[in-house]
């Protein structure tokens, strides 16, 4: 019979209070009032000591009538791999054209809706509903780009009817389906090019918010880049309100501590949206590797795809792809030049070093 490790129950209780990762695998603890057992490092709220007992492993705890915690998975050898597998299965289900409720999705992956929702968001940075909507928007884009009619594209993407499409699809595409199909025809865009601490900066906005923030050294090249993004857009003249918003964006470019409350018009595939959401979660002054970002969205093998999503970013600094580096800490590439990337990281690191 396997024996409990750590010398006494007091020692084991101290490990539980400290959520000591090194104690995982040495014993499990159970809570009499809930009937649940956990690994020592479990992040759940601590029970009272008088209600806690200890077992050498999950098998003994189950034999005593306790159920495994749905947060720390003490009955699994590799709980993180188990969590990732659950989320990956859910992502595949959500990417189908049949809509799923949270309850139905949680049932298919074998978890309670509450714990599943919490786990999914912690690994992907998105709720299951947002992931499903992003996947549906990607199917709609693909169908429209392949030349399908708007009605056929809407149905192929998984919208149950035209009315639900008109409520949601316009937001997903950032324009109407007909405009998207024609490369943004009639889409109204304003833009301005100004000087900033990183050289020249192009700021563009649609009716939904800032849709491009491009850096460079040449105004002509910046304008050409914008035209490639919106080849058939209708470019409108600047006005006083837009000029003020451009000033706010430039202030944010020049100062990492400056806040920016303007809405962003973020367009991309479902996968790109997931990556960009993860990038926005990287704190100022810190970096993450491409592999870490891939792991954060629940797709640890998609390192190259993450790099591609970073390169496709149209909102420099506002979506901080400059904070993603190689595993060895090297800067790697940057859409707007590695010199700018180095300058941004150096500038953001200063407050942390102070």
Distance of CA 350 to the CA centre of its chain: 26
Question: Does residue 38 have an active-site annotation?
Answer: yes
- R_g of the chain computed on alpha carbons: 25
38, 72, 91, 310: which is the annotated catalytic residue?
A: 38
- Spot the catalytic one: 42, 72, 201, 321: 321
Going by C-alpha positions, the residue among 316, 320, 117 that lies closest to residue 222 is 316
| Residue 284 is a catalytic residue | no
Residues pairing with 213 in the sheet: 203, 315
Helix extents (H) in the chain:
9-17, 58-63, 79-94, 102-109, 113-124, 128-145, 150-157, 162-173, 177-181, 219-229, 240-254, 270-280, 290-296, 303-311, 338-353
Identify whether the C-beta of residue 40 lies closer than 8 Å to the C-beta of residue 27: yes
Q: CB of 158 within 8 A of CB of 99?
A: yes
Q: Using CA atoms, how far apart are residues 270 and 134, in angstroms rounded to an integer?
A: 5
Q: Report helix, strand or coil for 50.
A: helix
Residues designated as active site? 38, 321
């Amino acid at each position: 019979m396997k024996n409990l490790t750590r010398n006494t129950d007091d020692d084991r209780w101290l490990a539980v209070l400290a959520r000591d990762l090194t104690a995982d695998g040495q014993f499990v603890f159970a809570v009499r009032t809930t009937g649940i057992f956990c690994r020592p490092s479990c992040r759940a709220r601590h029970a009272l000591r008088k209600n806690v007992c200890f077992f050498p492993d999950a098998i003994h705890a189950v034999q005593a009538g306790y159920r495994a915690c749905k947060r720390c998975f003490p009955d699994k050898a590799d709980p993180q791999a188990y969590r990732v597998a659950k989320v990956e299965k859910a992502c595949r289900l959500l990417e189908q054209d049949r809509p799923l409720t949270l309850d139905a999705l949680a049932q298919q992956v074998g978890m309670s809706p509450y714990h599943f929702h919490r786990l999914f968001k912690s690994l992907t940075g998105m709720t299951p509903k947002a992931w499903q909507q992003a996947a549906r928007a990607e199917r709609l884009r693909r169908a429209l780009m392949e030349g399908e009619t708007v009605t056929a594209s809407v149905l192929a993407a998984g919208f149950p009817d035209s009315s639900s499409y008109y409520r949601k699809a316009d937001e997903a595409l950032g324009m109407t389906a007909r405009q998207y199909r024609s490369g943004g025809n009639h889409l109204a865009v304003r833009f301005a090019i100004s000087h900033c601490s990183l050289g020249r900066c192009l700021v563009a906005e649609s009716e939904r918010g800032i849709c491009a923030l491009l850096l460079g050294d040449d105004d002509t090249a910046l304008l050409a880049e914008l035209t490639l993004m919106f080849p058939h857009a209708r470019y409108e003249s600047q006005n006083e309100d837009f000029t003020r918003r451009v000033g706010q964006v430039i202030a944010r470019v020049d100062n990492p501590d400056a806040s920016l409350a303007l809405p962003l018009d973020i367009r991309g595939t479902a996968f790109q949206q997931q990556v960009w959401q993860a990038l926005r979660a990287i704190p100022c002054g810190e970096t993450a590797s491409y592999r870490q970002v891939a792991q954060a969205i629940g797709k640890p093998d998609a390192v190259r795809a993450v790099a591609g999503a970073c390169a496709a970013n149209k909102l420099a600094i506002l979506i901080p792809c400059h904070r993603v580096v190689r595993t060895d800490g090297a800067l790697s590439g940057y859409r707007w030049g590695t010199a700018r990337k180095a300058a941004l990281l150096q500038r953001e690191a200063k407050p942390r070093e102070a």
